[in-house]
Amino acid sequence: MHPPRDHRAIASRRDVSGRDESPHRRPTAILLAAGACIVLLAAAAPAEEPPTLRLGSDEWPPFTGSPGAPRAANELVDTALERAGFSAETAISGWEEVEAGIRRGELDGSAAIWRTERRERDLLFSLPYLENRLVLIGRAGSDVSAASLTELAGKRVAVVGQYAYGAVVDDAQGVYFVHAHSDQDSLDKLLAGAVDYMLVDELVVRHLMAFQPDEAAANLEIGLNPLARRTLHFALRKDLPGADRIIAAFDAEIREMQADGTYGRILQVGWIRADVDGDGLYELVPLGEQLGELPPRSVYDVYGTAPADETPEKERIVVQGNIYKGWDAIPDRFKIPPSQGGDTSFKYGTTVVTFKF
């Protein structure tokens, strides 16, 4: 799961000066006038934004963690901030320590946090930049068609102990949740027959199907219905100077990253579906400009599920900043197989979660 975040105050530095223009005033008057001037200037001077944002996260693969570990959320946030002209450093520790550091003003915020009313009292939140979705995995041949957790009553379901998806998980009646230390631990329990199912984030499943397709097909049955979901945000303390401007710049860069393919490359999911121009309509965005000869077979929905009445070949597709209404409208020069010059491999992006079977 992912924890919440909070913010508090940090001292801001102000460059102020006062000058008495009358050399005939007595020293006391001069000091009083200078002091009043300093107070007025200090009140008028804008607070300085921090040169480097101090963020906190816990170990939560594949979303947050130390460099070199699966940390998709950290990579997205760091890239968006860098493109917007800001720098950030992330300290990895337990989530309780992260929250305490934000409350004390030792941290400016967090790259990956779920939004709650309590947290909104202290934090400014970005728009959602990712959605956490738990899907069901069973052993090969299992029925994974459940549309809700209540349909799993009487079943043993492995779930990583730190996941906290709220009432949809906590209030599932009759489901025997078996806490696991990691997704690998959940898989070990599943393959050993200790549990009937495991719950895993959809991003992990995407990586599993993309990078370990043979092992997945031979051993697992993967559900398509998200059984729990939460939106993920970047957040800063409200009292951090310039927090609102930083958040706005971050939101703008995330949309640009979705439109130009950077977002999908970092997540290592290939094609994505998102509203990249803010008009309320979804677009498909490929990884590069060489799309292959056929429409995509698999698309990662950034914020939910695809409209039921649209198929990939009929949807709006973004190529080189242009939106084409359907696959047939795309110029043939873009429909190049990767083997003929189109490099659609994942050169850049987060480290992916891999499993041992």
Cα distances (Å, whole numbers) of residue 179 to 113, 199, 215? 22, 11, 24
* Per-residue pLDDT at 346: 46
Cα–Cα distances in angstroms (integers) from residue 133 to residues 196, 228, 276, 324, in the given order: 19, 6, 21, 29
Question: What are the structural domains of the chain?
Answer: 131-230 (3.40.190.10), 263-340 (no CATH)
The mean pLDDT of 233-261, rounded to a whole number, is 96
pLDDT for position 49:
60
pLDDT band at 162 (very low <50, low <70, confident <90, very high): low
Q: How far apart are CA 114 and CA 132, in angstroms?
A: 10
Q: pLDDT grade, residue 47 (50/70/90)? A: low
pLDDT of residue 278: 82
Q: What's the rounded Cα separation, in Å, for the pair 75 and 84? A: 14
Q: Provide the pLDDT for residue 80.
A: 97
pLDDT over 90 (residue 189): yes
Mean pLDDT of 113-141: 94
- CA gap 147, 261 in Å, rounded: 31
| Least confident range of 35-39, 70-74, 117-121, 204-208 | 35-39
Evaluate if residue 88 carries a pLDDT over 50: yes
Across residues 280-287, what is the average pLDDT?
88
pLDDT tens for each residue of 194-223: 999 999 999 999 999 989 999 999 999 999
pLDDT over threshold 70, residue 35: no
